[in-house]
Structure formats: C-alpha cells, structure tokens
Amino acid sequence: MKKGILLLVLATFLWAGNYICGRFLAPALPATLLNTIRWAISTVLLWGLLVFNKQNIPIFPIGKNFLFRGF
C-alpha cells in the first residue's frame, strides 16, 4: 500500500475517533476542557515526533516580520 493512501486513511480514522470521543465525553466535560485535552495530546505527540526525528522546532527566519504583518 502506498504511504500517501495509508496516511489519508489514518487521518480519517483519527478524525472519526475524535468525533466519537467528543460525543461520548460531551455530557461529562465542558467543551473548553475537551478542546484543551485534544490540543495537549497533539502537542505532546508532535513534540515527540520532533525529538524522535532529531529535528529542531521550525522557526520562521522572518518571525518578527511575520508577526507584525498580522496586525
């Protein structure tokens, strides 16, 4: 199986799992807490992926200029 197709299927399963977990946990937890937990899990996974691949955090070389363009 091609890697691209496998990644698309994985993304679909993760998205569906997020929906199912949200439906299951919505009566018990507030929406902001569910969102915070979701972002925390994804942050930990992405940081772990960066460490595993021995890469630095990508920082924009024009970070300050990029920041001020938003205003």
pLDDT in tens, 42-55: 889 888 888 888 77
Nearest Cα neighbor of 13 from 21, 23, 24, 1 is 21
**Domain limits at 52?**
3-69
Structural domain count of the chain: 1
Q: How far apart, in whole angstroms, are the C-alpha atoms of residue 44 and residue 40?
A: 6
Q: How far apart, in whole angstroms, are the C-alpha atoms of residue 47 and residue 37?
A: 15
| Average pLDDT of the residues of the chain | 82
Would you place residue 62 in the very low, low, confident or very high pLDDT band (cuts 50, 70, 90)?
A: low
